[in-house]
Amino acid sequence: MKTVNSIATVVAPGQGKPLNVLGHDISVKVARQETEGNYYVFEVRTPAGHGIPPHVHDREDELIYVLEGEFEIMLGGELFTAKTGAQIFFPRHIPHAFKNVGASMGKTLWTVVPGGNFEDFFEELNALPAGPPDMGEVVRIFGKYGMEVLMGN
């Protein structure tokens, strides 16, 4: 089914476009084509001890639901613990980061609003060579999409 602006979609468990973004296994559930870029929804599997460095967005808000695991959340300079069932809101212009501090793989569900910018951002990060990322290149890609990595934080 299709409306003027969106495509009705059902994504079964285990389905979704796979990506690897900085060592996180991503499964895209709802992309730009379904919502005209209004939302971008994806599931993230994060290895223990892994995370995303402090950064800030100029264009998007992020809403995260913890499906499995325990994460340390930095939001506006404060640290929080988010366990299974927790909801986290990262509004644009507020520095934030997250790290899986549990002993096993963690899983989160993310909704990014608006979402059109994020799809291309993730595609570029997914294209980076396997292994430890070149942080200079990561910082460049973040900047290209209106995000700043806060080095030294």
**Does 113 reside within a domain?**
yes
**Does 83 reside within a domain?**
yes
**Does 3 reside within a domain?**
no
Q: How far is CA 136 from CA 56, 64, 141, 142, 145, in A?
A: 17, 27, 9, 10, 15
Residue 58 main-chain phi, psi, to 5 deg? -100, -20
**How confident is the model at residue 153, as a pLDDT?**
46
pLDDT tens digits for range 58-80: 999 999 999 999 999 999 989 99
Q: Which residue range(s) make up the domain with 45?
A: 20-147
**Does 101 reside within a domain?**
yes
Number of domains in the chain: 1
Closest CA to 53 of 117, 96, 101: 96
Query: Distance (Å, rounded) from C-alpha 124 to C-alpha 126?
Result: 5
CATH number for the domain harbouring residue 53: 2.60.120.10
**Residue 16 Ramachandran class (φ > 0 left, ψ -120 to 50 alpha, else beta):** left
pLDDT tens digits for range 76-114: 989 999 999 999 999 999 999 999 999 999 999 999 999
**Does 15 reside within a domain?**
no
